[in-house]
Structure 1
């Protein structure tokens, strides 16, 4: 009965962190949606690299959609794992308290619960790769935006020559 309890505890930890990750991915979609709405407006279209940022957002949405699907499936797998592992504990308890012969059923439910736990963890690894990919895409855009603003400062500095500074 100890092994299912330890696995239940591990699954619960994964459930909490996965639920948090799903919330953050959902918030990210909402944030990008708001930013996109701003960029398609008149004021947003005048922002530097607005067209490029809109393309970046459009490119991120399918990845974010896949991420949320992975996270939802992982949550389902973890909930199923907990249910099966709890059933394993109940079956083992019933078997120990009574003359009820449960046979291989507790072993099979434990194996199935552990399998769902492994499947959920595998889904989280796929989601983590997608998360890293979207972060890298956003960082590339931010580097271009930074280069754009840096070039503006270089132009401003070039316009202020030593002769102009001395004449003021």
Structure 2
């Protein structure tokens, strides 16, 4: 059995909602990778520049919209009208569990962003080299991690079936 046949067999065995979650997870991971890669490779001058930061944030937003729309259109074309079908009770429960973990990560990220902002305002720094606009980066990374957790938990719970644990 070659790779193409294995892929076709996997697609036939996997539910459409699971494929949709996997695509959303991969798109979010790719966007997170692009964002972190840009931050790591940025010069101190770029990190301090609001123009560069605005361009980076606009890039993240545009990639998010374009990739999500393209993936949704492609998935809608290959589905058998599964997108219009309502979720069953099990899928709703799995979705709620995903939201629970996502909300926890997002709340921690917001608190860390607020704490970091207050530390910056008071001139206290943990690191020898300060990163300008760090609270904004903390919030964006928390948002991306929350999205990854939301999709990842749904994939895991859907695959293993331990919804209530």
Give 1 or 2 for the bigger CA radius of gyration.
1
Please identify which structure carries the higher helix content. 1
Q: Same fold (TM over 0.5)?
A: no
TM-score (normalizing by structure 1) = 0.33
TM-score (normalizing by structure 2) = 0.34
Structure number with greater CO (CA < 8 Å, separation at least 6) is 2
